[in-house]
Structure formats: C-alpha cells, structure tokens
Amino acid sequence: MKFKDFKYERPNIEEFVDKTKTLLAQIGEDESAETEIKAIKAIFDLNDEMDSMITLVSIRNSLNTQDEFYELEQDFFNDNIPELQQYEHIFSSKILKSKNRKTLEKEFGELMFKTAELRQKTFDPKIIPLLQQENKLSTEYSKLLASAKIEFEGGTYNLSQMGPFLQNLDRDIRHRAQLKVSEFFANNEELLDRIYDDMVKLRTKIALDLGYENYVQLGYDRLGRTDYNYIDVKNYRDQIYRDVVPVVAELKQRAAKRIGIENPKSYDLALSFLNGNPTPKGDRTWQVNVAKKMYKEMSNETNEFFNFMLDHDLLDLDSVPGKAGGGYCTYIPKYKTPFIFANFNGTSHDVDVLTHEAGHAFQVYSSKDNFPGYRWPTYEAAEIHSMSMEFLAWPWIDGFFKDDTEKYKFYHLDSSISFLPYGVAVDEFQHEIYFNPDMTKEERKATWRKVEKKYLPYKDYDDDDFLEKGTFWYRQGHIFGSPFYYIDYTLAQILAFQYWVKSRVDHEEAFASYLGLCRLGGSKSFVNLIKAVNLDNPFEDGTVKKVIKPIKAYLDSVDDQKL
C-alpha cells in the first residue's frame, strides 16, 4: 500500500465510547489479572485505530491546508479529542487502583503507571471546553503562518521558501528578505498578540482549575517529565550561559571575518561563507537516492527501514503552495508506518531532514512493536535519535555535498552548537511568561528582547524596528502550540554530541548503542534512557563543559577562512 491508499474514515465517536466503556468495566473491581491484561490490550488496539484516523487527518491537512474536507475533519477532532481524554483519565484511575497492580507493572512496565499518575493530575472532565479552545487557537496560529504569501524578487513565497533569500550572498537581498518576512508578521501583529494572549490566559486557567499554582508544572506534567523539574532546567540553562554562549560569540566573530563584514547584523547571521553556505549537489530525487545508499551501507536495520519508507511513499518533501510550514515525523499505528513531512528549499537543511526526521522515523520503526505508550519516548529523549542520526551520517555526508563536505561538517557543528543559546532563550522566555501570565503584550516583547540579549548578545537587528522591539518569537511555533517543548532540542543536542564523539572513535560501537536506544523507545524515562546507554546526564554540573570541549577543539582545528 502507498500512503495515498491509506483509508481515512471518520470514526463513530459514540461507538468508540461504548466499546471503551465496556473494556474499562473489565479493569478493577474484582477482575482477575488475566482479564485486566486482556482488556488493557484491547483498549490499546481501539486507541490505535482512533489515533490512526487522527494522524491521517493531521498529515493530509498539513499537506494541503486549503483542502476543505480535511480542514473540516481537523475541526471535528479539535472538538472531540478533549472529550475522549476523559476516558484516558478513567483508564489511568482504574489501573492505579487495580488490586493486580504488581502483576500489571510486570506485564506493562512501571513507567505506564507513573505516566498514569501524571494523567490523573493533568486532566479533569471540567476542563474539556478549555482544551477545545486551546486546540482551536493552535490551529488558528498554524493556519495564519501557512497563509503567508510574500511578494519578493518577482515571485510569491511562503515562509519556508523565503529561507534561501536569508542566506543569499547579496547582502542587500538578505536585508530586504528579512524586512519582507518581518512585514508579514507586523501586518499580523495584533492577531498574533491576541492568539498568544488567549493561549496564556487559557492555559493558566486550566492549571488553576486543576489545582496547580501556575501553568509551569502543568506544562512539565503534560510533557511526561517524571524525573526532572524547572529548577533542574534552570541549572542546565545556567551551564549553557556559562559554557556555550562565549563559544558561540567567538564563532559568530569568525563567521563575520569569513564573510568580510565588520559589524554583522541579524540578516548576516544565516550566511556562514562568502562563497555560499554548503548546499546539496542535486535535487530532491537525487538526494533521496544518496540517502538510500547511505542507509544501505550504515546497517541492515537502516537499509530495511529506508526502503520501507520509499516503497510506501512515506516521505513528502517538496515545498508547495498551501502546504504547512516546517517539518515533522509522525506515526500511523494502524499501518505501523512512520511518515516524514518536510519543505525542501535547496539548502543544507534538506539533508538535515533526511537525517534528522529519518532519525525520528527509524526510532519509532525500531520500537513499533512496543506497547503504544512506549513507541515514542518523551520529546527530549525523542530528539536524541534525530540529532544523533545527523552525526552518524557523517561518514556518508560527502555523497550529498561533494566538494562542500568539509565546509558542511564545520557548518553542521557550528550551527548545532550555535543553536543551544537560542534554544534555552526560548525556554527561559516561556518560564517568564507562565510565571507571570498577566504580562501585557508590550511586556512580553520586552521580556523576549531581554532574554535574547542575554543568550544572543551578538544579534543586532539594524533598521528592523519590528524585531528590535522583541517579536522574533512570533515565528517559533513551539511557543504557541507546544509550550515548554523546545529545551528538549538542546538537551538532545548535548547527548547527540556525545554520539559524535563516540562515532569518531568507533562508529560501529556508537551505532550499536544508538540502535539499543532506538529499540527502547519510550519504555524508560528520559534520565533512565540515557543511563541505559551510558550517556552523561546534561542536568549534572560539568556535563555541558565536558561535551563542548572536543567540539570546540575540532572547530578550532579547522582553518575556516579557506572553506
């Protein structure tokens, strides 16, 4: 079957609820462990069918945001998903109270029960209308950004397609491209402020209604973070500020020297080389063929996986009008298939998609036979697989970049380490917002600019007054749709760097460890997953400094002026 043949049929919600209630009645009370195990597995199957329909609608809606049928179906799920969450709540309550809990823990693992405890805290039927509003606000934001039609240099472009102009060798084009993108956001400033203000107040109300002091801990609990808290995260951010920000500031000075600009502005930061950033040396079809060869040689497991993805048309990579921005990997349980969504734009980002999103897809493909809750780990652990795959691809990266290979390697490490301060800035901003939910829109913008200056002191917006007042965060979708899901990328980056170090010593051994991590899926919490494969914990003081040292040494050893 090809992806286009995957059948979508709107689920009968009443029928789903009736079946769920029947199965829930077989858990608890005086039922035997055997009866409960059978009922739990049947609930997993029922949920997989529902999740498959939800995911198919989400994918097809993002492939064409102008498709009225899937837009209506997305609205249908936005209304109904919060209603269905109450049954997850009941399920959690029943397994936690089961007299057979020890037997169930042996069958399904302890983490399922820790997650159930969090679900008990994060949901109550009374918040269903608020969750429905939250879903609608997220959809409104995504649709607004997908609607961008930016007139520039004789063409019309969406936000993804403006990316190459921001890396153009002509400084005037870069400058005007930034101003054009800012113009789109400025024209929608009032709407974006209203959407976000509604989101913050709504999430704060949900938190208060559930008995939380504010949204911060609820945000962590929603993300399934069981073994660290916001104080651990603050300590980690402090490590980034102390040990990474100075390194990145130095790298930005080196980049300015490479491109011959004495006082670089924000529109210069995406350009790393005067002769252009490294680019893949072929079109989308050619790149996919190079990836196919790479995954064949990397391991039997990756070869099987990538051929499976190609055989079933599970990669949609072209940037076309009406398609949602960004990139993601998701999973359709009914067909046991990952799906990769991206917007190729001719930059090195295209190759990053074929490694990063394929890392996500390979992980879930490797753990597809796990119980549903254990197929994916929590977000910060999931990003380890994607970012590490980017580095495990290094021995084959010359296939994509040819003469640009050494330049790409430098650029890849440079941009990866340079991302860390931005990633923690997004996180610190969100903590400030949700600890102080009554901020005005002006105070939010001032807060962003203050945090930005702390972690990205080199960012000078020149004559872009719109960005200077603190609006860059408008374009960071996670801030709107997935609060507190962003620090995850930076945590995973620190762990992926460890695989870079390991792979340079012994690639096969590094890949074996990585494969083991993929197969574990989400069967352990974040800290326990990294313990299981002997990676250093980023929350522990000194880890960031230890990890950054060999990266800096490699970058310092490269004569980047010759690249």
Domain with 40, as residue range(s), is 3-120
Within a domain: 46: yes
Query: What's the one-letter identity of residue 84?
Result: L
For residues 283-300, average pLDDT: 97
Minimal CA–CA distance to 223: which of 560, 483, 19, 1? 483
pLDDT computed for residue 56 by the predictor = 98
As a whole number of angstroms, the distance between CA 35 and CA 63 comes to: 42
- Each residue of 303-354: pLDDT tens digit? 999 999 999 999 999 999 999 888 999 999 999 999 999 999 888 889 988 9
Statement: residue 85 has pLDDT above 90? no
pLDDT band for 443, please (50, 70, 90 cuts): very high
User: Percentage of the chain surpassing pLDDT 70?
Assistant: 100
Q: Give the pLDDT confidence score for residue 300 in this predicted structure.
A: 98
Q: Does residue 276 carry a pLDDT above 90?
A: no
pLDDT of residue 60: 97
Residue 338 lies in a domain: no
Q: How confident is the model at residue 297 (pLDDT cuts 50, 70, 90)?
A: very high
Is there a domain that residue 447 lies in? no
pLDDT digits (tens, 9 = 90+) for 113-160: 999 999 889 999 899 999 999 999 999 999 999 999 999 999 999 998
Quick check: is 18 in a domain? yes
Return the amino acid letter for 92. Answer: S
Asked whether residue 17 is domain-assigned, the answer is yes
Count of CB atoms situated within 10 Å of the CB of 299: 17
Residue-level pLDDT at 454: 98
Closest to 81 (Cα-Cα) out of 139, 23, 121, 38: 139
Write down the pLDDT at residue 514: 98
Residue 29 pLDDT greater than 80, yes or no: no
The predicted pLDDT at position 119 comes to 87
pLDDT tens digits for range 478-510: 999 999 999 999 999 999 999 999 999 999 999
- CA–CA distances in Å: residue 51 to residues 11, 55, 56, 75: 10, 6, 9, 15
Residue 14 scores a pLDDT above 90: yes
Domain contains 23: yes
Q: To the nearest whole number, what is the mean pLDDT of the chain? A: 95
> Lowest mean pLDDT: which of 62-71, 251-260, 273-282?
273-282
What pLDDT, on a 0 to 100 scale, did the predictor assign at position 160? 85
Q: Phi and psi of 32, rounded to 5°? A: -80, 160
% of the chain beyond a pLDDT of 90: 91
Total tally of structural domains belonging to the chain: 1
Residue 213 lies in a domain: no
Instruction: Give the mean model confidence (pLDDT) for residues 246-271.
Output: 95
Buried/exposed code over 416-442 (b: 16+ C-beta within 10 A; e: otherwise): bbbbbbbbbbbbbbbbbbbeebebeee
Q: Is residue 40 part of a domain?
A: yes
Q: 30: pLDDT confidence band, cut at 50, 70 and 90? A: confident
Residue 115 is which amino acid?
Answer: T
What is the pLDDT at residue 426?
98
Q: Is the per-residue pLDDT at 180 higher than 80?
A: yes
Task: Report DSSP state, residue 438.
Answer: T
Tens of pLDDT, residues 89-103: 899 999 999 999 999
